[in-house]
Amino acid sequence: MGFKRVVETKKVERLVYTCDICGLSINGRIQCSLCRRYICSSHAHWHGPGPEDFGVPFCDSCWQAGAAIRAELEALTLATEEKEDALHEAWKRAALDALKGGA
């Protein structure tokens, strides 16, 4: 997977990574986070927070398989963020009430 061939340039052999889907030579080593296949940028889908703010990479197959689950995750994340905001507001109100009562 990924290490498909060795290229000889000026009598120096170097390892070339290739996309496991299309066979295109790739400079970086982008791997699907689920199936671990090497993928080129045209086959990479990014989701959520991850290294270098790109997100976590997925290949086409794993991306399509997770469509319904991603929708549930996004709804859950939104609900969690709203609950967290409500808790912060409650904390702020409690702190202000404590300051008013203690003054």
The answer to whether residue 47 scores a pLDDT higher than 90 is no
Q: Give the model confidence (pLDDT) of 49-97 as tens digits.
A: 655 566 788 998 999 999 889 889 889 988 999 999 999 999 999 999 9
Q: How many CB atoms lie within 10 A of CB 63?
A: 18
Q: Which of 13-22, 33-42, 64-73 has the lowest mean pLDDT?
A: 13-22
CA distance 43 to 22: 9
For the chain, percent of residues with pLDDT exceeding 70: 80
State the average pLDDT for the chain: 82
CA-to-CA separations, 68 to 26, 45, 49, 56, in angstroms, rounded: 30, 15, 19, 17
pTM for the whole structure? 0.57
